[in-house]
Structure 1
């Protein structure tokens, strides 16, 4: 068993001390710090060409990945295991008055001694078995574990058959520019050094699935994540004559009631079930206050998948949108009729009917109707939108749909369904090919070896339940399923683009062996020391050893 606790702890603290909030200059500072750590290892001083600081591509920000390769000498082989992890974190505003201490675990923990804390947090703080701070769990202790193994094998290449590539990437917490850029470097390394990527091991955090859950989870594959979005148009009216128009916020509310927490939209596969969708934004698009109802509204939802394709999700949500629209109109008619009776005013039949279109359907309709004039206008409009670098992909997409809607011949109320952000593909690792079989066998053997040395159960599951860069090293979707993502994202090819063929070119089975703790993305983020600093590196090492034989 590797005696790695103190060294991994030292590296963790070293990494946490560097604030590396996503989409800030801290990401560059963090990459430089990681590059310095790696390039100062004796192996890389002698082989500087085997460590690279790679700037991300097609990125509005300047930031970098660090990628390193160690070649084993025990029995030279082209078999290669990829270790991956992200160096960026979420922000620190949630730490409130302790924000300045968020990236200094020792100072933070000392300050927390003076705070009134939830019982479980207080217990962990006093136990001496947890480290607190932004990034300790998500996921700098996981990165530290990988750096430890990189350093170990750079000092002992004679113990390594085959090769080890370590990818420490930026921008995992937002748009995954880091891993998507790293794919190109992985292809270059593969071709240059004749590598055969046999598996990837991520080190993102794991947590209890429910209160009282003492299992430490290892995940085979990962959940997929989509951001289905809805542009909703109504019929504008003065609020004093509210039944003469249709408020799009009313339809949006019905849509959210229909979709939010709807367990019919949970995706079960291999006995595991995703959480239902939840709204992440709901707003109208009225720029200022007026006494007119809004012309349009915009809402989007988080949507996890295990086996459904992006195309499946669009069809399921089209049905849900039709139900929500029909429900809103029926309730509108009932309220209108009731008001008419109460006010002794005539009831006029409501002219609207439920209408739901995919963005691709609307776009093709407008091309057929207006031809090149529409196409040229929309290209110019997107180029103009790109000048506003503060506009994120989600609002960019909404504005494109809003502009396209102006060209619609029939402007009666409608819901336009589209994707407005990155699709993180689902990955299944089930033993469907030799590489998956070998990885699963290696993982089972590693757990069997180290379970007796740890008091809590180490349990494997099929899908990592959070968004992660694991999604971008393999594909379970075919080309037609991915085409529905491109065709129905209004920002595709301008504000947003993913070359899924880069993923297919790597296409390596991936598992997650990561640090254990609580409250990632929250003010009491903390990591359990024994499992994270001792068991995780040794489990990872055992898998590496069993794969590279």
Structure 2
């Protein structure tokens, strides 16, 4: 066992002290600090080209990754393991009056102890076994573990039978510009130095899966994440003649009732099941108050996948959208007829039917109807829309769909299904390739060796359950599945683009061995010190040794 506790703890505090909130200059500060720190290690003073701080590419902001590598001198192997972790954090608004201490774990703990804390938080705060603060869990302690191992092997290259690459990337908490640029850097080093990448070890945080769960988890592969979105058009009317139109918010509400928390939309694979989808936004698109009903509504949902493809998800959600549309119209008709009965007004037959299509299907119809007039208009519209800095990726996509809808000859109410954000691909590590089998065996052996040094059970599962940059270092989807995601995203090629061929070129099996804690992204974010700074580096190190010794 490596005697790493104090050093990893020290690095953790140093990194946490730098407020590297995503999309702020703090990301640049921490990248420079890491680069300076690594450059000061004797190995990198002698090998200055082995550490770089490249700027991200095609990014809306100026920011940087940090990459470094140690070439082992034990033999002549090109086998290479990558250690990865992100430097950025979410914001600190949730710390309220303690925001000034969010990046100072020691002082923050003193102040937290003065508050009336929930019982379990109070117990942990007073135990001395936990560290609190923004980024301590997600995931600067994981980066600190990787930094320690990089330094260790820079001082002991004779123990390394192969190579070790360190990647600290920015922008994990928002748009993943860091890893998308990092993949290019990894592939460039593969070409330049002849690296044979055999595994990537990510060091993102892990937490209990349910109340009372005491296991510490390690994950092979990762969940995939989509953001299926729905543009819902109605029939506008004055509120004084409510039943002469159709409120799209009614259909949106039925859609959320159909999709939110629906177990039928959980994806099971390798004996594990995803969380069901849940709404992340529901709104209409009226710019301000009027006495007319809204013309359109917009809803999107988080959607996790293990084995389904983006195409599978669209097909399933088209069916559920049709059910929701029919339910909404049925409810509308029931209430309309009840109103006619109590008011004495004569009833008319309703003219609407459920109408659902994907963005790709709508695009095909519009191109067939209008040809180059439509396509040229939309190219100009998308370019001009980029000038609106207030629009994030999700709202940009909605505005594109809204504009395209104006060209539809049939303006009867409809639901358009599309994707409005980055697709984070799923990764299965199931032993299909030799590299996957070697990684699984190396991990099992590492856990078996280190487990006696720790009281709680260390359990290996198949899919990391949170969104992470692991999604962009390998692909389990084929080109058809990826094309479905891009063709149904109105922002693709205009506001964002992912070079999946770069990812396929890297295509390295992944595991996540990371810090253990609670309340990531929350006020009481905290990590258990012993597991995080002693056990995690040692399991990671055993996996490295097991892999490179093969």
TM range (shorter): over 0.9
Q: Which position in structure 2 is the counterpart of 1:498?
A: 498
Task: Describe how 1:501-512 pairs up with structure 2 within 5 A.
Answer: 501-512=501-512
Report the equivalent of 2:35: 35
Count of residue correspondences: 549
Runs of 4+ in structure 1 deviating by more than 3 angstroms, as ranges, are: none
Gaps of 5+ in 2: none
> In the alignment, which residue of structure 2 is the partner of 1:370?
370
**2:60 is equivalent to residue 60 of structure 1:** yes
Query: Aligned-pair distance for 1:368?
Result: 0.6
User: Matched residues in 1 for 2:409 and 2:424: separation?
Assistant: 35
Q: Quote the residue 2:95 is aligned against.
A: 95
Aligned to 1:307: 307
Question: Counterparts in 2 of 1:103-502, with a 5 A limit?
Answer: 103-502=103-502
Alpha-carbon displacement from aligned partner over 1:145-189 (angstroms, at most 9, x marks no partner)? 000000000111011010000110000011111001011110110
* Rounded Cα–Cα distance in structure 2 between residues aligned with 1:218 and 1:113: 31
Whole-Å Cα distance in 2 between the matches of residues 84 and 76 of structure 1?
A: 24
Q: Deviations over 1:352-384 (max 9, x none)?
A: 000001000001110110011100100000000
Q: Report the equivalent of 1:81.
A: 81
CA distance in 2, matches of 1:60, 1:388: 13
Q: Deviations over 1:425-445 (max 9, x none)?
A: 000001101000100000000
Q: Can you list the C-alpha shifts for 1:302-348, whole angstroms capped at 9, x where unaligned?
A: 00000000000000000000000000000100000000011000101
Q: Deviations over 1:109-161 (max 9, x none)?
A: 01011100000100100110000000000000000000000000011101101
Shift of 1:23: 0.9
The whole-number CA distance in structure 2 between the counterparts of 1:457 and 1:181 is 36
Q: Is structure 2 residue 512 aligned with structure 1 residue 533? A: no
- Describe the superposition over 1:478-521 as per-residue Cα deviations: whole angstroms up to 9, x where unpaired: 00010001100000000011111111000000000000000000
Partner of 1:48: 48
1:25 is displaced (CA, Å) by 1.1
Deviation, structure 1 residue 388: 1.6
C-alpha separation in 2, matches of 1:11 and 1:293: 56
Task: State the alpha-carbon separation in 2 of the partners of residues 410 and 496 from structure 1.
Answer: 30
- Distance in 2, matches of 1:43 and 1:390, equals 46
- Separation of aligned partners in 1, 2:457 and 2:463: 18
1:415 Cα shift?
0.2
Alpha-carbon shift at residue 390 of structure 1 (Å): 2.9
**Aligned equivalents of 2:213, 2:421: Cα separation in 1:** 33
Q: Secondary structure at the match of 2:62?
A: coil
Give the CA deviation at 1:76.
2.3
How far residue 38 of structure 1 moved from its aligned partner, in angstroms, is 1.0
* Deviation of 1:391 (Å): 1.4
Q: How far apart are the structure 1 equivalents of 2:524 and 2:291? A: 45
Query: What SS is found at the alignment partner of 1:131?
Result: strand
Q: TM-score, normalised by structure 2?
A: 0.99
Q: CA deviation at 1:30?
A: 1.2
Q: Secondary structure of 2:76's partner?
A: strand
Query: Are residues 1:11 and 2:8 paired?
Result: no
Q: CA deviation at 1:39?
A: 1.0
- RMSD between aligned residues: 0.5
Q: Secondary structure at the match of 1:464?
A: coil
Q: How much does 1:37 deviate? A: 1.2
SS of the aligned residue for 2:79 comes to strand
Structure 1: distance between partners of 2:38 and 2:488: 42
